[in-house]
Amino acid sequence: MNSLSEHEPTPSPASKKDLLLLALISGLALAGLIVIRQTFEVLNNQSTIFSLVLIWGLACVLFFTFRRWQEAQEIRAVLTAKLSDVETREDQRQQKSSEDYQARIQRLSSLGTWELDINNTRLKWSDDVFTIFGVDREDGFLNYDQYLKTIHHDDRPVVEEAISECLRERK
């Protein structure tokens, strides 16, 4: 056995230092790899946390933006309804004003207006038509024959033809 151990090289003091330095460098490299790995894990965790915070922040922004949009839609609906109501009241006011003006003109000129709904055969008279024909409003309307009797006999054929044509053409 001695012969075998004699053939093995014995490390020199310089090579012992090299081995120690190699072990130290290997340990540091291994420690460095562990630190780098842990750093990446931390960075990955931070990245994950950052991503979650970013997603949560974006979700909050989207939620509040959507809520503002809903509020704006509700306000728009209320304003549209109010505007429509104002426009309707303005239209009614203008209609009433127009009817008042027409009634005043009819009264001043001793003219009246009537409107026949052909589909329902309903006749609508202005107040002045009642006055012109001498009919009390409570007594109701004249029927067709009574109406024709109020027309001058020279004008009756023209009036009858005009009424017949309107009924025929439904206008």
- Please say if the pLDDT value at position 158 is more than 90: yes
Residue 115 near residue 123 (C-beta atoms within 8 A): yes
Cα–Cα distance measured from residue 47 to residue 40, given in angstroms and rounded to the nearest whole number: 10
Cβ within 8 Å of residue 132, ≥6 positions away: 110, 111, 112
DSSP secondary structure code for residue 114 in this structure: E
Tell me, what's the pLDDT at 70? 85
Domains of the chain: 110-169 (3.30.450.20)
Report the pLDDT averaged over residues 128-136: 81
Region of residue 162 (left: phi > 0; alpha: psi -120 to 50; beta: else): alpha
DSSP secondary structure code for residue 136 in this structure: -
Question: What is the largest distance, in Å, between two alpha-carbon atoms of the chain?
Answer: 163
pLDDT band at residue 96 using 50, 70 and 90 as cut-offs:
very high
Cα–Cα distance measured from residue 1 to residue 8, given in angstroms and rounded to the nearest whole number: 11
- Please say if the pLDDT value at position 120 is more than 80: no
Tell me, what's the pLDDT at 20? 67
Residue 133 near residue 150 (C-beta atoms within 8 A): yes
- Please say if the pLDDT value at position 8 is more than 70: no
Tell me, what's the pLDDT at 9? 54
Share of the chain above pLDDT 70, in %: 67
pLDDT band at residue 33 using 50, 70 and 90 as cut-offs:
low
